[in-house]
A and B are shown apart, each in its own frame.
Chain A
Amino acid sequence: MVHAVLQQSVAGFYADLVTRPTGRAVRENIERDLPPGSIAVMDFTGVGCLDYSCADEIVAKLVREKVKVLLLRGLTDAHREAIEPVLAGAGLAVLYERPDGALEGLGASEPAPALLDELVERRLAARNPGGSIRLTAA
């Protein structure tokens, strides 16, 4: 849970992921337990405001430097609006789980299909008859 990591990473009780120093502290906390090239899930439930700097510092840098596939869940529309342009501008993409469980790409359109394929190949996700891709019960 990103919200829980935020509470560990900054002094005071804040629900917002804003400022680069905060983003850096949260990312470094997450990275500690994350082997390079891994598939990671980040849950944004409980996070209030996410600004562009923090979106870059956490999401874009994890994708650029650390993880192979990053799956985001618990995103609000406002979170997506912060993350999408940051990733798209850098040619990066993540996956996000919609409230109905379907997985979609977020960010640059080109890398997203490969991310979905990676999850399907590893049997972490499966294509449904309707065409959507959802996580398998793990």
Chain B
Amino acid sequence: MTRLIEVPTQFDDRSFDQFAAAYAQAVDGGGERLLFDAHAAEWASPYGLVGLLAAGEAAARKGERPLLTAPANPDVVSYWARAGFFREAADLFEVHGKVPKVKVAVESEVLLPVTPVRAAEDVHAVVSTIQQRASAILSSELGLDPKATMGFAMALSESCQNIVEHAGTGGWVAVQAYNWRRKLARRVVVIAVADAGVGFRHSLEPTQAKRFGERWGDAAALEAALIQGVSRFRDPGRGQGLAGIRRYLARWEGKVAIRSGTARIAIVPRWDDDVPLKDGLPAFPGSQVLLIIPEQASEKGPGGAGGPSQQ
């Protein structure tokens, strides 16, 4: 028997908890085979795509290789393929449905296709790729100072290193630019990083749990890492990465949100109405990081041209 997990039709950080709830419920059922049903998917953000891979990896670890029904909409499935999703999914899922054989990342909006991160060498490759592809888009389309490109690469590097240093397993990163009509009527660049590893609470528990006492949990662990800059290592220089990401995003009015276990923390910029800290969410393995950097210049008018849109 298989247990069904529906992939939300609009799959991004907002609908992720709905997906996580379905995942948690299906996993609760025991060792049955899981079927991730994305046939009705109409859109997925990079966060949705890397999150789905993390779920696939966690499911495969628990039992039989999970099934995945690809989106039925040809445009959607084609976009997922171009974004590099199916290249990674093939190793994790038994994929059903028509998946077109297309070249990965041939479009300007896919700054970095879904890319596995397992070791420091992968982070080097990611940083090198993003500098080649992203600098023109960051400065011309987002209106960022060309100097900010390096800061972007630094933020990306630190996000990926969280996987290498803390997850205890591999993960994925994806970077895309798109029109974000929903909140901003501006273009944004989104970095999404996800793993199905041990999560922040488990990583920080040996050094931090006692300090927090009864408050200790996923939310406290995220607060310790992102707000207080603590690390599981006793080395005095540790905890620089997330602090650096925060500085970079504060400068460019960006947003960072991290989900781990049953909690989610966000540094919320003025343009967003997200909640800074949520606890008691459906449990989901590992950690999922979202960085959003919005277009800075307003002279161009809303939207900009090209690229996928999100309502």
Contact = CB atoms under 8 A, between A and B. Distances in A.
A19 interface: yes
Interface residues of B, number: 25
Interface residues of A, number: 32
Interface string B229-246: 000000011101101100
Interface stretch (A7-15, A38-46, A115-123): A7-15
Interface stretch (B43-51, B151-159, B187-195): B151-159
A81 B131 CA distance: 17
Interface stretch (B91-99, B116-124, B300-308): B116-124
Given A53-B240, A85-B244, A18 B123 contact: yes
Residue of B124, B128, B157 most packed against chain A (CB within 10 A)? B124
Given A51-B157, A78-B150, A22 B124 contact: yes
B148 to A, nearest CB: 9
A19 B120 contact: yes
B147 interface: yes
A56 interface: yes
Interface of A: 10-12, 14-16, 18-22, 48-53, 55-57, 60-61, 64, 76-78, 81-82, 85-86, 89-90
A83 B137 CA distance: 26
Given A10-B124, A90-B236, 12 more contacts: A16-B128, A18-B127, A19-B120, A19-B157, A20-B120, A48-B127, A48-B128, A51-B157, A60-B237, A76-B150, A78-B147, A78-B151
B310 interface: no
10 contacts: A11-B121, A14-B124, A16-B153, A18-B123, A18-B153, A49-B153, A51-B241, A53-B161, A77-B147, A89-B243
Given A22-B120, A82-B244, A90-B237, A49 B161 contact: no
Contact of A19 (B131, B164, B240, B244): B164
